[in-house]
Structure 1
Amino acid sequence: MKFSWNVTHPGATAKTILAEQGVSHRMFSQINQSNGQVLINGRSVKPATKVNVGDQVTLIVPEEPADPNVPVSDGPLTVQYEDENLMVVEKPAGLTVVPGPSNRTDTLVNLVKGHLVAAGDRQLVPHVITRLDRDTSGLVLLAKHRLANSWLNQQLGDHTLVKRYLAIVSGQLPADHDMIDAPLRRADDGVNQIVAPDGKSAQTEYWVKQRGADWTLVEVLLHTGRTHQIRAHFQSLGHPLLGDELYGGPQTQLMRQALHAYALSFEDPVTHDQRQFECPLPADMSAIVQA
């Protein structure tokens, strides 16, 4: 793939111009290892070459070879948005996101690869930006090539990429709005996360959207991205998510954690437009709040 930018200020090199466009040092290393190129006005140059105002700096990113260990799946896939750089898809509960030892053939990545193959796309290595647990539903953002992956992960790191969730927690939360600020770490004897003084800093902000007799629907904004952060934080308050067996949530109304990634916003890394997406509650969660 080819990306070009015009030089607007003096005294720069091709590499500094590319760095200003979010091309990281790590990205440079990956491109160098895979025979990528830097061009000035169509001529191949070293990245340290000086440029002049009005020059055009071009970065050629080689295609990534498809991983033969990730087979294609032709199952159903709901795509909300797609261009040559990224995709936003809707993941149902029960679908694993990335292949692993227990499942290498039937994951979201397999489905996305199948979609790309069917469309005749030459970039066949989907990069997951916003991963969800198997039993969490909602929006997932994927980059379609390594440079988009680098750009979007930078936004994820500096929190300009914003994810919002809807969760149904057990019982009645006392506050309509609050910030849960409690460090998290893995439990000594399990795969779950616990609040502990020696854990990593974690902040979860929530707003109550609806109250039922024995549940509360909340909108959640993560200020950090710890494993199982929402699930562990609400358990620590004594209000685990409905259906969340791992964290002690009641399972009479739902057989999976009542957690849905419903909103996603970020800056398009190429056009710099603001992108916003929403995904309504799935049927199992909607049935509870509409009962």
Structure 2
Amino acid sequence: MTKEAIFSVQNPQMLLPFLLESMPNKGRNKVKSMLTRGQVMVDGRIVTRHDHALRPNQTVKILATVGTPGEDMHGIRILFEDEHLIVVDKPPGLLSIATDQERDRTAYHIITNHVRESAKGGRIFIVHRLDRETSGVMMFAKSESVQQSLQETWHDSVLERAYVVVVEGTLSKAEGTIETWLKESSTRTMFVSRPGDGVKAVTNYKVLSTSGEYSLLEVHLETGRKNQIRVHMQSIGHPVIGDRRYGSKKNPIGRLGLHARLLSFRHPVTQELLTFETAIPSSFRKLFAGESQSRH
């Protein structure tokens, strides 16, 4: 296992040359692999671009490698791990936690096994969930006290949650806010209710690209209700692709068009600001090949 290392930036420089100079014992391919795996943080943010521009006085941290050689993580990529937390990039098609029908092939079960590889009796605790078909950044606590701290201070501790979403059609507004009240039906499907009835839900969106048939959105949540993005997109007539439950009739990529791209929060123990950002899935981008696309 590679140990953590911290370097201070003295002069303006691109990230890859800086890393090669700072770790002369590591080969170029090894350093590139560290970037690809998300092991490099600049001022608390995971950075994967080789040409990321560094400024004087910034701090570059190399995170320890995680995972056991040969360990089957079922497509889960670990972004960060310390004694208090573990942050992962969950693939689509994997449940967050067990159901009556599926107990073993869940993110919770797989990561529990991983934690127990390094600490006998190790446990993880659910902090928040992603739908089965939603991919992206997800966080677990390693103790009940850290879990409770995060859940009790969620609105203050979590500074940003951003998703990328592919929806049907072209939106009339380039950006906007959807604010409704949501309720759950007897079949566990969420729906828009009348004002004051249910729970309030607020979703902000911005169109990144459109092909006419589909639109790629960046979405920020002010509230975290069950299926919030999915039901809100349906409510404005632009359901998430692949989402039959909420009105979609098209599934061009064979999965739900929803990805939790970014999570930024203050560490509940160290108070360090941590930001984890993943790439837009390639299957999303292919739908807009040739289209002008914003970079965020």
Q: TM-score, normalised by structure 2?
A: 0.69
Taking the aligned partners of 1:175 and 1:185, their CA distance within structure 2 comes to: 26
* 1:150 aligns to 2:155 (yes or no): no
Taking the aligned partners of 2:267 and 2:179, their CA distance within structure 1 comes to: 31
Tell me the amino acid that sits aligned with residue 264 of structure 1. Answer: L
Deviations 1:106-130 (A, max 9, x none): 1111110111122x22452211222
Q: 1:191 corresponds to which residue?
A: 188
Q: 1:41 corresponds to which residue?
A: none
* 1:162 aligns to 2:160 (yes or no): yes
Task: Indicate the percent of aligned positions where both proteins have the same amino acid.
Answer: 33
SS of 2:254 mapped into structure 1:
coil
Q: Kindly state the Cα deviation for residue 141 of structure 1 after the two structures are TM-superposed.
A: 0.6
SS of 1:246 mapped into structure 2:
helix
Tell me the amino acid that sits aligned with residue 113 of structure 1. Answer: T
Taking the aligned partners of 1:130 and 1:290, their CA distance within structure 2 comes to: 33
Contact 1:155–1:161 under 8 Å retained in 2: no
User: For the structure 1 residues 206 and 123, does the alpha-carbon distance in structure 2 shift closer, same or farther, using more than 3 Å as the test?
Assistant: farther
Q: 2:19 corresponds to which residue?
A: none
Q: 1:175 corresponds to which residue?
A: 173
Taking the aligned partners of 1:279 and 1:290, their CA distance within structure 2 comes to: 19
Q: 1:256 corresponds to which residue?
A: 255
Contact 1:244–1:255 under 8 Å retained in 2: no
Deviations 1:241-263 (A, max 9, x none): 11111111132413332000000
Taking the aligned partners of 1:100 and 1:194, their CA distance within structure 2 comes to: 22
Q: Kindly state the Cα deviation for residue 270 of structure 1 after the two structures are TM-superposed.
A: 1.8
The number of residues matched between the two structures is: 217
Taking the aligned partners of 1:289 and 1:88, their CA distance within structure 2 comes to: 29
Tell me the amino acid that sits aligned with residue 164 of structure 2. Answer: L
85-94 or 191-200: bigger deviation = 191-200
Tell me the amino acid that sits aligned with residue 262 of structure 1. Answer: R
Tell me the amino acid that sits aligned with residue 261 of structure 1. Answer: A
Q: Kindly state the Cα deviation for residue 199 of structure 1 after the two structures are TM-superposed.
A: 2.6
Q: 2:200 corresponds to which residue?
A: 201
Contact 1:203–1:222 under 8 Å retained in 2: yes
Bigger radius of gyration among the two: 1
What does 1:76-95 correspond to in 2, within 5 Å? Answer: 76=74, 77-95=76-94
Taking the aligned partners of 2:249 and 2:282, their CA distance within structure 1 comes to: 18
SS of 2:108 mapped into structure 1:
helix
User: For the structure 1 residues 158 and 267, does the alpha-carbon distance in structure 2 shift closer, same or farther, using more than 3 Å as the test?
Assistant: closer
Q: 2:129 corresponds to which residue?
A: 131
Q: 1:287 corresponds to which residue?
A: 286
User: For the structure 1 residues 290 and 123, does the alpha-carbon distance in structure 2 shift closer, same or farther, using more than 3 Å as the test?
Assistant: farther
User: For the structure 1 residues 105 and 210, does the alpha-carbon distance in structure 2 shift closer, same or farther, using more than 3 Å as the test?
Assistant: same
Q: Kindly state the Cα deviation for residue 155 of structure 1 after the two structures are TM-superposed.
A: 3.1
Q: 1:105 corresponds to which residue?
A: 104
Taking the aligned partners of 2:263 and 2:288, their CA distance within structure 1 comes to: 22
Tell me the amino acid that sits aligned with residue 142 of structure 2. Answer: K
Q: Kindly state the Cα deviation for residue 103 of structure 1 after the two structures are TM-superposed.
A: 0.8
SS of 1:234 mapped into structure 2:
helix
Q: TM-score, normalised by structure 1?
A: 0.70
Contact 2:175–2:205 under 8 Å retained in 1: yes
Q: Kindly state the Cα deviation for residue 160 of structure 1 after the two structures are TM-superposed.
A: 3.2
Q: 2:228 corresponds to which residue?
A: 229
Taking the aligned partners of 1:180 and 1:270, their CA distance within structure 2 comes to: 34
